[in-house]
């Protein structure tokens, strides 16, 4: 086999890998933008006191922390109880997301 064959094969495979990497980076950028927009919509729902939006942006099996929670809250009903408390007691008028970082591990497909 000639050196020309190896160079051609190398360039071909490099092109394929580069194209796949670029497609994956584009998909990840879209994923990051979608996640950031979702988070912003939750903050906006608090500002608007939109209980239905808060409910629809969380799943039945949600788990996490609220503003004043000291333990993990589990489920949509617990989330909404905490959200209701925040909506009644906090005068939220705006927000600024000053740092956002998303790290992906592996392929989700």
Within a domain: 7? no
Q: Which domain holds residue 78?
A: 32-89
Burial 44-64 (b: 16+ CB within 10 A, else e): ebbeeebeeebeeebeeeeee
Residue 65 resides in a domain: yes
22: in domain: no
28's CB contacts (< 8 A; 6+ apart) are: 102, 104
| pTM of structure | 0.69
Query: Looking at the domain assignment, is residue 76 inside a domain?
Result: yes
Q: What is the DSSP letter of 71?
A: S
Q: Does 73 map to a domain?
A: yes
Residue whose tokens read 């988070």? 39
CA-nearest of 68, 72, 64 to 88 is 68
Q: How far apart are CA 37 and CA 103, in angstroms?
A: 16
Q: Total domain count for the chain? A: 1
* Separation between Cα atoms, residue 67 and residue 41, nearest integer Å: 17
Instruction: State which H helix or E strand residue 73 sits in.
Output: strand 73-74
**Diameter of the chain measured on Cα atoms:** 76
- Inside any domain, residue 42: yes
Residue 106 within any structural domain of the chain: no
- Whether residue 55 contacts residue 84, with contact meaning beta carbons closer than 8 Å, is answered with no
Residue 66 lies in a domain: yes
The segments of the chain whose pLDDT lies below 70 read: 1-24, 108-109
């Amino acid at each position: 086999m000639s050196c020309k064959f190896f160079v051609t094969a190398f360039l071909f495979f490099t092109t394929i890998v580069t194209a796949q990497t670029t497609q994956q980076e584009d998909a990840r950028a879209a994923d990051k933008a979608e996640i950031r927009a979702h988070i912003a919509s939750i903050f906006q729902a608090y500002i608007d006191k939109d209980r239905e939006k808060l409910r629809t942006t969380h799943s039945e099996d949600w788990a996490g922390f609220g503003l004043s929670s000291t333990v993990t809250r589990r489920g949509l009903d617990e989330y909404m109880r905490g959200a209701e408390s925040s909506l009644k007691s906090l005068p939220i008028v705006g927000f600024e997301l000053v740092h956002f970082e998303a790290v992906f591990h592996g392929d989700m497909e």
